[in-house]
Amino acid sequence: MSVTAPMPSLPVAAAKVSERLRKKASRHVAERVIELLLFGAALLSVFTTAAIVYVLVSESWVFFEHVPLKDFLFDTQWTPLFDDAHFGIMVLLSGTITSSAVALVVAIPLGTIIAIYLSEFAPFAVREVAKPFLELLGGVPTIIYGYFALVFLTPLLQKIYPDLPGFNLLSAGLVMGVMIIPYVASLSEDAMRAVPMSLREGSYAMGATRLQTALRVVMPAATSGIASAYILGISRAVGETMILAVAGGMQPNLTFNPAEPGATITSFIVQVALGDLPHGSIGYQTIFAAGLSLMLMTLFFNLLGYWLRKKYREVY
């Protein structure tokens, strides 16, 4: 009797392989299922956008069946909850534009200066502290800024300018500007730091100072990034709600004078939502028409930003 080596016979090995293959096949199915689940999660963003458009348009549709578009755009009164109802979006738009203008007058210069300073001037240690600090500033809830504008800044401004009413677009806009500084500064700074060092070195070699290099070399090279930072700042200002709802007063007021109280598109929505309007009433649909206007404005700015990025993009 010869001793056979302890080797598995061929059929047994084949069975093991086919077993493994079967497992592999089921593994394949599981893989596909997981991929589909993950794809579904990613697709949710598309559904969200579609749902936003659907909700805003379908509710506004009902609204515009009652209110002609001409009145909506050109009427100079906004009294949707009165018996003699007027729906002139211009009134809310003026509040939005005025407060945003005040905010941008603060945020764009200061944000740009901070960005240049951090990117071209500041020592490493300062930047390491300043960047997280800006992030913290951007993380403060806007209701807190609203409270600050109402309780701290307005009384302060009233000392300089006694006629200022307790609710006004000026102090809301100024505080909103400070709120937006981190967004403008941090994105502009990222854009400037992405400019290659060799460009700066070329400029320094010609004897330029840091400021000259920043203004004439780095900023032009980073135009597209800085433009998107500004656009983001504008979008934030237009869409900001709570600061204006708390400190801006909520009376509709067709004015471009920041020292007056006024309602914005956003603060009007909050005002209506705070009261209890029945679902389906015209007042209820008004907020969707207002929301649609807001959405169209931010969409316009987003597209503008996209176009600016494409037009001024420098590739190194």
Partner 1 sequence: MQEQDLQLIRNIIVRAKRWDAFFGVLGVFALMVGVLTFAALFVDMAIQGIPRLDGDFFTSFPSRRAGQAGILSAWVGTVLVMMVTAMAAVPLGIAAGVYLEEYAPKNWVTDIIEINITNLAGVPSIVYGLLALGLFVYQFGFGQSILSAGLTLALLILPVVIVATRESIRAIPQIIREGSYACGATTWQTVRDHILPYSSPGILTGVIIGMARAIGETAPIITIGALTFIAFLPPLPGAGEPPAGLFDWLFAPFTVMPIQMFNWTSRPEAAFQVNAAAAGFVLVLMTLAMNGAAIWLRYRLRKNIKW
Site residues for partner 1, 4-63, by CB under 8 A, read: 27, 30-31, 34-35, 37-46, 48-49, 51-52, 55-56, 58-59
Specify the residue, 13 or 33, whose C-beta has the smaller distance to partner 1. 33
Q: Is position 117 an interface residue for partner 1 (rule: CB under 8 A)? A: yes
Q: What is the three-state SS of 20-35? A: HHHHHHHHHHHHHHHH
Nearest to 286 by CA among 299, 295, 277: 277
Specify the residue, 257 or 313, whose C-beta has the smaller distance to partner 1. 313
CA distance 222 to 191: 6
Residue 111 exposed, middle or buried by CB count within 10 Å (0-12, 13-18, 19+): buried
Q: Is position 288 an interface residue for partner 1 (rule: CB under 8 A)? A: yes
Q: Binding-site residue total for partner 1 (CB under 8 A)?
A: 84
Considering only 67, 104, 192, 295, the residue that binds partner 1 (CB under 8 A) is: 295
Specify the residue, 121 or 307, whose C-beta has the smaller distance to partner 1. 121
Q: Is position 224 an interface residue for partner 1 (rule: CB under 8 A)? A: no
- Give min distance, CB of 185 to partner 1, in A: 8
Specify the residue, 91 or 114, whose C-beta has the smaller distance to partner 1. 114
Q: Is position 210 an interface residue for partner 1 (rule: CB under 8 A)? A: yes
User: Exposure string (b/e) for 113-149, b if CB count within 10 Å is 16 or more?
Assistant: ebbbbbbbebeeeebeebbeebeebeeeebeebbbbb
Site residues for partner 1, 87-116, by CB under 8 A, read: 110, 113-114, 116
Would you give the DSSP letter of residue 214?
A: I
End-to-end Cα separation, the chain, in angstroms: 80
Report residue 267 as tokens.
Answer: 């603060």
Stretch of residues binding partner 1 (CB under 8 A), selected from 9-17, 68-76, 80-88, 132-140: 132-140
Would you give the DSSP letter of residue 3?
A: P
Q: Is position 132 an interface residue for partner 1 (rule: CB under 8 A)? A: yes
Site residues for partner 1, 61-80, by CB under 8 A, read: none
Specify the residue, 78 or 301, whose C-beta has the smaller distance to partner 1. 301
CB 165 within 8 A of CB 251: no
Site residues for partner 1, 142-171, by CB under 8 A, read: 142-148, 150-152
- Cα 315 from chain centroid? 26
CB 98 within 8 A of CB 255: yes
Q: Is position 134 an interface residue for partner 1 (rule: CB under 8 A)? A: yes
Considering only 70, 159, 279, 310, the residue that binds partner 1 (CB under 8 A) is: 279
Specify the residue, 44 or 76, whose C-beta has the smaller distance to partner 1. 44
Report residue 30 as tokens.
Answer: 């599981």
